[in-house]
A and B are shown apart, each in its own frame.
Chain A
């Protein structure tokens, strides 16, 4: 189900369309639909909350947001891959996993 801008505004006090429009324009967050009539997925909504916290909670300057988010995206890319790897390792025979663990703990 898509989330509207109105719903997001109820969750984030003080978020205005102009600021969110800038983030969308700068491709920091994805949205469907035109200005103000945006529709968001759950991850988009969570990302808007994250950007809001970065910008207004942690006072990251707006011009620094692209760098910060790009680094975060890379960390999450890596973590997704590590989780997949973890899943694949979990399917290995017990003895192989034990050897791996032993090697990693050295």
Chain B
């Protein structure tokens, strides 16, 4: 394959017609065969330079070359290789579809041999199910009954600390094996619903706890719901909205190798219904020197 004519002439792809002429003249003078008698290399170079000039000095040919319609010798170029030639080669894996996920040659052959009547023992297929779990069931663990398409039921033990998308494997509860082969497994994907008050990140849990103005200013003993039941928590006087308190070990309970997580309680001061006495008091009340937005002026 010959060289890129732009490179041959030593010019850039956006060279003007004048650039091309100048580059050609300079190279032609240097490599002209009559000026380099007996120099085969010069003759070859001159031929390439002439061909490059012929192509690039014709605006129409140059445009067609730039679009890839003709090659550097001016010959029509075969259209680019079709997608199929790439897709069927090993590089086609780059766009492997999801349709055959987990299906390998073994499955393909199993089907072929089954059709041909060979009855060698084979393990049954895995069955896939989805089970919806309440938020707190997934946190503390629970047993839920799954009704299968064939009417049978399956008691699924959701272990403590199960996260949304976790897949449980029940050995031997998939489709029956063939010709004495073992049955497949049941794969159960757990979908955990959101909770109205709790959020979860790994082992830790988060809760927004509404407190009254009275409780926030004067302090109080408040009841906090946790996955393991309500606990009492003491609020010191004068806590602001947004204050985060940590109840150690009150998040997702310990399971496997993971220690129990914490429950982070974020206080949210709620003013409550309109109150004439409070309003009357606040009209007379000032906090000299206190600016809740101190430091925000420059923004």
Contact = CB atoms under 8 A, between A and B. Distances in A.
Contacts of B282: none
B96 A11 contact: no
Specify the main secondary structure of chain A where it touches its partner. helix
Contacts of A79: 87-88
A74 B92 CA distance: 11
Interface in B232-258: none
A77 B97 contact: yes
B105 A85 contact: yes
Interface in A10-55: 10-11, 13, 30, 41-47, 49-50
A10 B91 contact: no
A11 B105 contact: no
Contacts of A47: 83, 86, 95
A43 B105 contact: no
Contact of A73 (B68, B81, B85, B96): B96
Interface string B74-100: 000000111111111011111111111
B286 interface: no
Contacts, number: 76
Given A11-B68, A76-B87, A76-B88, A49 B94 contact: no
Interface residues of B, number: 25
For this complex, into which size category does the number of interface residues on chain A fall? 20 to 34
B91 A41 contact: yes
Contact of B99 (A43, A49, A77): A77
Interface string A44-70: 111101100000000000000000011
27 contacts: A10-B68, A11-B67, A30-B94, A41-B91, A42-B81, A44-B94, A46-B82, A46-B86, A49-B80, A50-B83, A70-B97, A72-B87, A73-B97, A73-B99, A74-B99, A74-B100, A76-B87, A76-B97, A77-B92, A77-B97, A77-B99, A79-B87, A80-B90, A80-B92, A81-B105, A83-B88, A84-B105
Interface of B: 66-68, 80-88, 90-100, 105, 108
Given A10-B68, A45-B80, A77-B100, 17 more contacts: A41-B94, A42-B91, A43-B91, A43-B94, A46-B85, A46-B87, A50-B82, A69-B95, A73-B87, A73-B95, A74-B99, A76-B84, A76-B95, A77-B99, A80-B88, A81-B105, A84-B105
